[in-house]
A and B are shown apart, each in its own frame.
Chain A
Amino acid sequence: MFKLEGNKPQLIIDGKRTDGRGFDELRPIKIEANILKNANGSAYIEWGNNKILAAVYGPKEALPKHTADPTMAIIKSRYTMAPFSSLEEHGRSGPNRRATEISKVTSEVFENIIMREMFPGTEIDIFIEVLQSDGGTRAAGITVASVALAAAGIPMYDLPYAVSAGKIGDQMVLDLNKIEDNYSDADIPMAISPRNGDILLLQMDGSITKEDFSTAYSMVKKAGATISKIQKDALKAPYEKIIEKYR
């Protein structure tokens, strides 16, 4: 990743980060399930200043035909960023090389977690649209896509979540925002299966020690309790409204 040398902003002042968070503190997260009418399942997440929509279509006939697997469903994820999503200049629409890579690793997360053998010969489409970005969009995208898949009624072994850890100077921190991401010494996005703590996605660039990695994993693991609860609450919310109505 491109790192600016020289006039690097001070990211930690008096034990607090640029946005006032502690080292292992998440940004505020809000998730709403089933907000798009046409999709089989959908969800919207606000994670700090990130705003991301996810929609799931399928299982449906796998097209083109040669992509179909006669033994199980194939997963097609598509992560894209809106051209107006960043504070910088107007972006190019559609997926670039970065987005293509993120789409691939996202598909691989869900290939592991969806009961694919229940739907041979089909495809399940996962669309992740980043409407506003502020660092950590791939993690937020996986977290919200999990909710969209569950909302679509796709059988899964678990409800995965993702969050990134990073290193600022000598300090390991959780959930990098955009400025931290740009100037940090390492960025480690991870997706986790909460039932057993298995790592479903792991990427990293920068420079860390083995101990740093262990710290990063335990921070991500600890944050999982919070994120998983928000995911489950989002899935329950529409039904709780109905229960409330008839109580």
Chain B
Amino acid sequence: MGYIDIVKNEYIKEILHKGIRDDGRKFMQYRSIQASVGTIPNAEGSAEVDIGNTKVLAGIKIDVDTPMPDKPEEGNLIVSAELLPLASPDYDIGPPSPAAIELARVVDRGIRAANILDTQSLFIEKDKVWSVFIDIYVLNYDGNLFDASTLSAVAALLHTRQPKYEEEKVIREGTLPKLKTNGMVTSCTFGKINGNILLDPDGSEESIMDTRLTIANDENNNIKAMQKGLHGTFSIKEVESMIDTTFEKSKDLRSVLSSLEN
């Protein structure tokens, strides 16, 4: 960390005590959110999501695969995330970092728990099922990858075409039905800095926050996944209040999802 960062971090902490965020937002306010689907026509599904300067692209491919031994009549869902070195000076080349693995697993849990994908409908015949690969590509990092990634993954899933399997061949082009999905899941992520809780922390806020909490919920306000991160703690009151905020703010996220057109 350079001296400028140290000064900036102190400044961010100081003004938070006066109730001010560096970019002028309220504590429980998202940055502007932009989403579009069908960015990569070659992929079966794709979506690009911007939350402020954070930019995430999710791409979906569907292949014929063998089922998991313990679930012989269900298709597979495989979520992975890449923190591409072009997205930030702090990201390095190499195998997925623990941060990338955590990100993919939290997104995976939300989608799985909410049953967005009906894995039983992905069964083809004995020993043959569809595998749905969701790849989350972080293109520019400025905090809150969890919400941007879940949003892009779900947006892409809702606009994915289902390939056909005919005479041992996968047909990916032409008129294809939509992939079967049920409902939606979105997540809200909070950061805690010196006791102040902020929705949608940006990159500089993330670099100094003590604790992080991600809450994923569906349209009926059932909580579908939670993940606490970093060394700090939350009180039960704080968590309850964040759950309420999540229920409130997820309406906006769902309206982003339902307004998308391919």
Contact = CB atoms under 8 A, between A and B. Distances in A.
Interface residues of A, number: 32
Contacts of A94: 95
Nearest to A60: B89
A12 interface: no
Interface stretch (B52-60, B235-243, B244-252): B52-60
A132 B40 contact: yes
Contact of B42 (A39, A42, A86): A86
A84 B43 contact: yes
Nearest to A78: B93
Given A90-B63, A127-B84, A38 B89 contact: yes
Interface size class of B (residues with CB under 8 A): 35 or more
A129 B84 contact: yes
Contacts of B183: none
B64 to A, nearest CB: 9
Contact of B141 (A38, A42, A127, A134): A38
Contact of A38 (B60, B131, B140): B140
B87 A132 contact: no
A93 B86 CA distance: 15
Interface in B24-80: 39-44, 46, 53, 55, 57, 59-63, 80
A109 B141 CA distance: 29
Contact of A89 (B63, B84, B87): B63
Contacts of A82: 40, 57, 59, 135, 137
B55 A49 contact: no
A85 B85 contact: no
Contacts of B44: 84
A87 B40 contact: no
A125 interface: yes
B86 A129 contact: yes
A52 B142 CA distance: 21
B194 to A, nearest CB: 26
